[in-house]
Amino acid sequence: MWARVRAEMAGILGLALPIVVGLAASTLIGVTDSLMVAPLGAVALAAVGVTASALLIVTAAIWGMLSALSVRIGTAYGARQGRRIPLILRNGLMLGLLAGCAGTAVMGGVWFLLPWLGQPEEVIAAMPAYWAMMALFIVPFSILTVFKSAFEAIGRPWLGTGLAFLGVVLNVPLNYALIWGIGPFPELGLAGAGAASLLAESAALAVAWAFWAKARSTRRLRLRRGLDVTEIGAALREGAPLGLLYIAETGAMAVATLMIGTFGTVALAGNQVAFSVGGLLYMVPLGVAGAVAIRVAQARGGGEGDRLRPIVLAALSMVSLWMTASALLLALRGAEIAALITSDPAVITLAASIFAVFAVSQIMDGLQSSLLGALRGLSDTAWPATVSLVAYWAVALPGGWVLARLAGYGPTGIWMGFVVALFGAALALALRFWRQSALAVAM
């Protein structure tokens, strides 16, 4: 068994690495906007931050929902059903368009709620054009996500990653030109940053579309297949629980941040330091989760049920090693890491104490994410999503509040609640996978 586990590690790593890099690229557009807008002042920077917070929830939900396409394509690829892949892709592109339009509409609705959410009036006054551009950005982002999912599922993950980074690369000069009015371009300020992001993502999508339509290597992906409402509906039913899950997860993190904010500015700043570093480290488990979903789907499609458990054990071993090493680094060198971000002694001290608990919660979350990916590869999404919803909202948040307020652990108590909840979720998902994989082998 363990020889097979070691053999699967190379395949998972080869797929996870480009996915991780692609995830990093998806966050860099927001980072680029923040860095290049910063000279415009605090109001403009705050506007980017508020927009990015809303955009993250919407795009995470869409990414989760559309990730079902990589499983469906991976299953067909493993089963050598080459003529089915173009059907899934074409209908997936339509689903991506619909999801993008829905996301844009949601952002439009949220705009009218901002005054009721206590956002500063001067920030709201500065951001209508930027908000509108980033709402439209969701459409090319969603369609490009479908292409990336397809390329990953057929063994060409670096192609999807390259397309994601193309958007980042184009965003830099476009930001510079449109924010400050370089050459023939008008000086648009904050609105220019939004226009640059929209144009950059649209250009990356245009390149992906042209490659799909013209490249000889993708000719089998563009076999003529009509729109199929049944296929779109099946992908939507499979992906909807994942979209809901990512809304719940990002929402729970936002609520946890608000709870920590009740302990004061220092607590909020210390948590932001810990969360920023932890979010960077957590991209590896997210990439492994995406990779294990595709590998499991390919094995299932190919009738290789005996590979399912070795694939997942390999993924869990890799994630455990990475997150344990990260937890030790944060626990032992948390103060030094925090000092690289802030010079405030009080924030550094609190961030270091949060690191110790937050890192353990991320070990549990990494295991949970990998198991969610494995079950996603088996097209088992509704029950696992329910487990995670209960873990975040019925256990982690209430438990964290009790530990923080009633037990007196303060801000670190919030993340203690997540440790307990995610440990339970990981155990429940592991038992679910063991049962489902046994059924797959028996079929």
Q: What is the pLDDT of residues 386-397, one digit of tens each?
A: 998 999 999 999
**Distance from C-alpha of 1 to C-alpha of 398, rounded to nearest angstrom:** 40
Residue 412 confidence (pLDDT): 87
Q: Which amino acid is at 218?
A: T
pTM assigned to the model: 0.82
Residue 41 confidence (pLDDT): 79
What is the arithmetic mean of pLDDT over 140-163? 88
C-alpha distance from residue 108 to each of 96, 117, 157, 159, 320 (Å): 18, 15, 33, 32, 40
Residue 421 confidence (pLDDT): 93
Phi first, then psi, for residue 80 (nearest 5°) are 60, 40
Residue 2 confidence (pLDDT): 67
Q: Which amino acid is at 170?
A: L
Residue 442 confidence (pLDDT): 56
**Distance from C-alpha of 67 to C-alpha of 64, rounded to nearest angstrom:** 5
Least confident residue range of 43-57, 236-250, 282-296, 427-441: 43-57
**Distance from C-alpha of 361 to C-alpha of 294, rounded to nearest angstrom:** 26
What pLDDT digit, counting tens, does each position of 234-246 carry? 999 988 888 888 8
Nearest CA-CA partner of 318 in 343, 295, 289: 289
* Contact in structure between 47 and 190 (CB atoms under 8 Å): yes
**pLDDT at residue 443 above 70?**
no
